């Protein structure tokens, strides 16, 4: 049996995932970061991206939108702003959010918060990417 490590993915609203896994690839602030059991301790910021998690020999995806990841004693804790498993993402809703953000950015209206619209677009695209 392959070595495992505990993965806890937590958002301010709920515990998204809390089980044993074999491997995780996370979108760290400086690039993708792979973590196997018995990895050296570390703490890193996470950017908007897709985590790939191997459990039972199969991979699944989780869309995260920032936060932090701590690795210590064969345990990975992800404290994410938001996190959704790919199989739970409502793709139509994500596409609608993408369209709204694109419309806001295209409007070039002085009342539009461009940075906020760009973040919304990035998050929507990330959710669509994870679900595919």
Nearest residue to 94 (alpha-carbon basis) of 48, 129, 59, 46: 129
Same domain, 63 and 126: no
Same domain, 36 and 56: yes
9 pLDDT more than 70: yes
1 pLDDT more than 70: no
Same domain, 65 and 18: yes
Whole-prediction pTM = 0.86
Predicted pLDDT of residue 49:
94
Predicted pLDDT of residue 121:
86
Same domain, 28 and 51: yes
3-state secondary structure 27-47: EECCEEEEECCCCCCEEEEEE
Same domain, 25 and 63: yes
Same domain, 37 and 98: no
* Mean pLDDT (whole number) for 103-117: 80
CATH of the domain at 24: 2.60.15.10
Q: What residues form DSSP beta bridges with 18? A: 8
- Structural domain of residue 11, as residue ranges? 5-86
Q: Distance of CA 30 to CAs 8, 33, 121, 125, 127, Å? A: 21, 9, 21, 20, 21
Same domain, 68 and 27: yes
Q: How many domains does the chain have?
A: 2
């Amino acid at each position: 049996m392959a070595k495992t490590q505990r993965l806890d993915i937590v958002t301010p609203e709920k515990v998204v995932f809390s089980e044993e896994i074999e491997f995780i690839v996370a979108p760290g602030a400086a690039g993708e970061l792979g973590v196997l059991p018995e990895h050296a301790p570390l703490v890193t910021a996470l950017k908007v991206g897709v985590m790939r998690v191997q459990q039972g020999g199969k991979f699944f995806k989780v869309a995260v939108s920032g936060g932090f990841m701590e690795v210590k004693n064969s345990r990975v804790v992800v404290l994410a702003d938001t996190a959704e498993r790919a199989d739970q993402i409502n793709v139509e809703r994500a596409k609608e959010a993408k369209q709204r953000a694109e419309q806001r950015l295209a409007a070039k209206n002085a009342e539009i918060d461009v940075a906020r619209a760009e973040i919304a677009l990035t998050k929507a695209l990330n959710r669509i990417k994870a679900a595919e």
